[in-house]
Structure 1
């Protein structure tokens, strides 16, 4: 059962509440609204905690536009405990990147299991959130691309998805991309220092949906322009409201 552990009302009327769902910790932002709000699942990249400043800012900003927004630390992510194998893979990844060695197989061994373990917890969270009276659906997804591909393929309640073209996408999700059918917005940083541009472009080409949009901006991994948040809200407005 979902339990709220704290709450605060922000200046723009958005209600921010932390919650737990079994072992899953999360945050829910809901707008001040007389009617149930559509929901956006906002997933951070696999290593970041739910309290990461950029994620919190995105959640609050999006909720102010009339959406309920939720994020969690799924298994092995954020502040959740990590297995010895995960820690070893992360250490090996850092070593290989410093040495300029190939890292694809290390990424595969690290990110593949993270996606497999995170997807069920996000679906459990979705079940609990949709039972709240202040949330009415439909449901969108925004954030970590590898996880988003998996959820968009296996979760029929997702109506639209926005992905950030960053981080390694495991082989399984590269294949699943062809099965994706929901409307898609992909954000790409043209000079992302840790993510090969061509890999992201090839994946965009592979997505099976008939409605997909690519926004590419100059700059590094954390340099996504502020106006992309406005465009993302308009994108979700077309499909969730």
Structure 2
């Protein structure tokens, strides 16, 4: 992991850009990290395949809230074939097929969904895990780890295969391959799921079916009226409190955290 820039933001958050091989990423940490304090829990912030540049305002807003208000560290990485990363012909074709299906007004078939999502999950999840290896080796960051955001299928796969993730906040806003429902049944970590009821790009029934399939004994669905980008501001703090309950449990028992309850 190579850090290429560092700046202190006005809410006592340090933002550092890094690369992991060819993968760009951003890390946000508290400006004051005492060597005597317990290592900060880490939240991995997922996002749709639109590129870090386009998604930066929303990602940074979430990350800075977690860091400034709750003392977490937060990080994100660029998804394969997106942003400044090399183009990926199969992914470009799948996106084109999706656009044509949507423009025609017809249903998006399972073959298009599989071609769009499954290869992305297969490529992205190992990269997230490699980034996690590097992030947890940094001074002041020690877990436990949470994952939040989309693509929801990436979050499901990570929750199944990555034992260091102890809680996940999933955004129901992307197409879900049929194969992911079987993986969802293997998820056991606590879940906080957000659903925009009128999301123009989301199959609401598929999102509800996926929530039903998730195997976690602790799972909560927050559904709000509005389109894809209309998530109420209060949901940011609701999600942060969900992570505070689960990521700060060990630190709270030892009296080493001042995070909000």
TM > 0.5: yes
- Note if contact 1:50-1:73 (Cα within 8 Å) is conserved in structure 2: no
Aligned ranges for residues 28-107 of structure 1 at < 5 Å?
Answer: 28-31=27-30, 32-34=32-34, 35=37, 36-49=39-52, 52=55, 53-64=57-68, 65-104=70-109, 105-107=111-113
Per-residue CA shift, 1:192-236, capped at 9, x if unaligned? 111121111111111101000111111110000000010111000
Alignment of 1:200 with 2:216, yes or no, is: no
Q: Distance in 2 between matches of 1:157 and 1:77?
A: 26
The reply to whether residue 130 of structure 1 matches residue 133 of structure 2 is: no
Residue number in structure 1 paired with 2:256:
none
- CA separation of 1:158/1:74 partners in 2, compared to 1, >3 Å: closer, same or farther? same
Instruction: Tell me whether 1:210 sits opposite 2:217 in the alignment.
Output: yes
2:233 to 212, 217, 226: 226
User: Which segment is superposed worse, 196-205 or 11-20?
Assistant: 196-205
Scaled by the length of structure 2, what TM-score is found?
0.89
Aligned to 2:192: 185
1:152 aligned onto 2:159: yes
Give yes or no for contact 2:175–2:203 (8 Å, CA) kept in 1.
no
Query: What count of residue pairs does the alignment treat as equivalent?
Result: 240
The 4+ residue runs of structure 1 with deviation greater than 3 A are none
Deviation, 1:51, is: 5.3
Whether the aligned pair in 2 keeps the contact of 1:50 and 1:56 (CA below 8 Å) is: no
* Long gaps (5+) in structure 2: 249-261
- Length-normalised TM-score, structure 1: 0.96
- What is the deviation of 1:60? 1.6
CA contact (8 A) 1:74 1:122 kept: no
Contact 1:26 1:50 in 2 (8 A): no
SS state of the match for residue 24, structure 2? strand
Q: Secondary structure of 2:185's match? A: helix
Q: Which residue of 2 aligns with 1:15?
A: 14
SS at match of 1:194: coil
